Amino acid sequence: MTLWRRWVALIDRREDATSLALCRIAVGAIVFCHLGHMVILDADRLVWADASYGGLRTLDPGWLAHVGGLTPLNVRVLVLVTMAAAAAFSVGALTPFAAVSTWAGFRTLGDLNSHSGGA
């Protein structure tokens, strides 16, 4: 068997849907719990709200500038929407939309403050 045929045979295997579902559940739950912990500690407002609103640093609001900037309310709404998307992703509700929404929300939050990620 040639190398190419072995490669095609390897990647052509059908995978059980259980492993994909478990991965989806784990990712959604981790994002939900991480953001929920930040909300409980009120750390989301410290990390992602601008210094002019009580945050730790002056931040670039990016696209949030079009909806009022990095106010504590805007940050909390973005966090809660991302948490809702992560919960929906975990339970398999509207999975494509929930996956993109979870990614976009978490990515936006991570990009707001360069000191809030990297681990």
Q: Tell me the average pLDDT across 11-37.
A: 90
Q: Tell me the average pLDDT across 105-112.
A: 88
pLDDT at 58 over 90: no
Q: Tell me the average pLDDT across 1-19.
A: 84
pLDDT digits (tens, 9 = 90+) for 35-57: 999 999 988 888 888 888 888 88
Q: What is the pLDDT of residue 12?
A: 86
Q: Which residues of 53-84 are buried (b: 16+ CB within 10 A; e: fewer)?
A: eebbeebebeebeeeebbbbebbbebbeebbe
Judge whether 7 and 44 are in contact, CB under 8 Å: no
Q: What is the pLDDT of residue 79?
A: 95
Q: What is the pLDDT of residue 36?
A: 95
Q: What is the pLDDT of residue 117?
A: 63
User: How far apart are alpha carbons 96 and 100 in whole angstroms?
Assistant: 6
Q: Tell me the average pLDDT across 81-103.
A: 94
Q: What is the pLDDT of residue 70?
A: 86
